[in-house]
Structure 1
């Protein structure tokens, strides 16, 4: 059972890496990347993932 991080209604979309979650109404006004069905990454976690990916890509070159 999760609550929306914006309006505290029942959440439908969940972030994989943190407790951020959104209801169907708030997802329209938020930046949230859906990866699989109703799970994805919030803006903060997406930035962290991109930093890690870019760091690993730079090591390979």
Structure 2
């Protein structure tokens, strides 16, 4: 998950596209929730917030 979120960061080529595709995937929220329950999400939150900021979502 960390590697995928890193692809959705501004320094990565095609980052906005990666963020949009990744965050639009219905399975993403399920994985995110599971990581949160397992207390593994906290380190990924900053990457997630940056991805949200550049994603081309309505």
TM-score, normalisation: structure 1 = 0.28
Greater Cα radius of gyration, structure 1 or 2? 1
Higher relative contact order (CA 8 A, sep 6+): 2
Structure (1 or 2) with the greater helix fraction? 2
Structure (1 or 2) with the greater strand fraction? 1
